[in-house]
Amino acid sequence: MKFKFIGNACGIFTGCKGTKILCDPWIVNGVFEGSWFHYPPLDTKIDDIQDVDAIYVSHIHPDHYDHRNFNFSKNIPIILLDEGGNFLKKNLVTNGYNNFIEIKNDESKEFNEFSLTMYKPFTGHLYEESLLGNLIDSSLVLRDQKTTAINFNDNTPDIESCKKLKEKFKDIDLAMLNYNAAGSYPSCYQNLSEVEKIKEHNRILKRNFDHLCSIIPILKPKAVLPFAGAYVLGGKNFYKNKYLGTTTWDVCAKYLNDNLEDNSKIICLRENQTYDLLSQKSLEKYEKVNPEHMKKYIKGLKDIKYEYEHDEHPDVDELKKDLDLIKRKFSEKIKKLSLKIQSNVYLNINDENIKIINGKNPDQKLICSMDLRLLKRIIHKKSHWNNAEVGGHIEFFRDPNKMDPDVHTSLSFFHL
């Protein structure tokens, strides 16, 4: 088996008999309401990745399933997790796709020379307790006649899951593990100073790296590829890049090499570079990411306009009427999901804080603010709260600075 990396969580597995499986094809910049860009920038085009035998789509987040540019033959099978209320499958069916290989949690299916096993989210939330937590992710284990790879993408396993995976699959040739914490914290939190944001950025990365150091010796893969969550913010949010809970794969690889008590080889790949699982060799020479070039590239993105910035500014009174309708519906949704939210949540509209969630703790609050043009899109389901949040478009102020994760889960249902 070979794996050719393209960018972020996208790449192509080629089996021992030549079968090609494309993974999570985000190619075109501008996902998450326009702000996510590839770095290093890609030369690959959608037309370059059409010659495949199947496509694995891990979940519905647009850096894995870019619905804007998901233009593939309807005859190509799509590998999906068969679990729960499948938002991804519903979207694909709406767009005319129905040739699915659906695999249940911890179930295996044969596809040409591959044996494919899928997993639902290993934990509700790896780093924060959450009643709902991760609703949408998956992982894929690929085995051909001689080798085994696990594409974890965003579905990072806990220690107990790793023990079970190791017991089941024995010799793992390649583990593709997420090392980043893509999202709004700490870059979008106004209650933090610049110094505090940098401190939190460093803390989060170390936390993620240390977790990898705890699970890799359990999995004992022959090779580890730091994988997924590689992006930069463009447009008016470009200045937030230095506060993101992310870094380059080179930084992760160095930390693992310096701190990992294991013999696993840490590999990095650039666009269109290939790793051979059987020979345990990269087929091309690797060149590290240049931090100075990265800074210049980001600066060059600052004048890009998001799609919603071309909208007309909404009528504030109409927005408030919509919020009144949403609040009644939203409150019922929170009850139905049995969420016990601690924070009192407010939307700031023209310096007026409008409460949208009554929390259990009167001394805990979260204030959310954003471009009102984007808010109107979210209300009318032309955009999605979670995508806007992950894209860095929503500003938060929380007091105390304490994570209330079910708040962020619930806000995914904030719309008419």
Same domain, 111 and 243: yes
Same domain, 191 and 252: yes
**Amino acid residing at 217:** P
**What pTM did the predictor assign?**
0.96
Cα–Cα distance, 180 to 161 (Å, whole number): 19
Same domain, 80 and 61: yes
Same domain, 205 and 354: no
Determine the structural domain holding residue 337 and report its residue range.
309-413
Same domain, 159 and 285: yes
What confidence score (pLDDT) does residue 244 get? 96
CATH for 219: 3.60.15.10
> Residue 143: which of 295, 288, 15 has the closest Cα?
15
For residue 202, the SS3 value is helix
Same domain, 288 and 333: no
CA angle 200/374/60 to nearest 5° reads: 70
Write the DSSP string, 215-229.
HHHHH--SEEEE-S-
Same domain, 266 and 379: no
Same domain, 249 and 338: no
In a domain, 304, yes or no: no
Provide the CB-side half-sphere exposure for 226 (13 A, CA).
27
Answer positive or negative: Cα dihedral of 162, 168, 174, 178.
negative
Spacing of C-alpha 111 from chain mean position: 26
Same domain, 325 and 292: no
Same domain, 281 and 336: no
Cα–Cα distance, 49 to 12 (Å, whole number): 9
Which residues are 317's β-sheet partners?
none
Question: How many domains would you assign to the chain?
Answer: 2
3-class secondary structure per residue, 9-41: CEEEEECCCCCEEEECCCCCCCHHHHCEECCCC
What are the pLDDT tens digits along the chain (416 aa)?
999 999 999 999 999 999 999 999 999 999 999 999 999 999 999 999 999 999 999 999 999 999 999 999 999 999 999 997 788 999 999 999 999 999 999 999 999 999 999 999 998 777 765 555 566 899 999 999 999 999 999 999 999 999 999 999 999 999 999 999 999 999 999 999 999 999 999 999 999 999 999 999 999 999 999 999 899 999 999 999 999 999 999 999 999 999 998 899 999 999 999 999 999 999 999 999 999 999 999 999 999 999 999 999 999 999 999 999 998 888 888 888 888 899 999 999 999 999 999 999 999 999 999 999 999 999 999 999 999 999 999 999 999 999 998 899 899 999 99
What confidence score (pLDDT) does residue 285 get? 97
In a domain, 215, yes or no: yes
Same domain, 314 and 261: no
In a domain, 381, yes or no: yes
What six digits make up the tokens of 400? 């105390």
CATH for 401: 3.30.1050
In a domain, 222, yes or no: yes
CA angle 398/339/350 to nearest 5° reads: 40
> Residue 75: which of 105, 57, 54 has the closest Cα?
54
What confidence score (pLDDT) does residue 261 get? 87
Distance between start and end Cα atoms, the chain: 47
CA dist 380 → 14, 279, 332 (Å): 42, 52, 18
If phi > 0 it is left, if psi is from -120 to 50 it is alpha, else beta; for residue 409 that is alpha
Same domain, 340 and 244: no
Final residue in a domain of this structure, among 236, 268, 299: 299
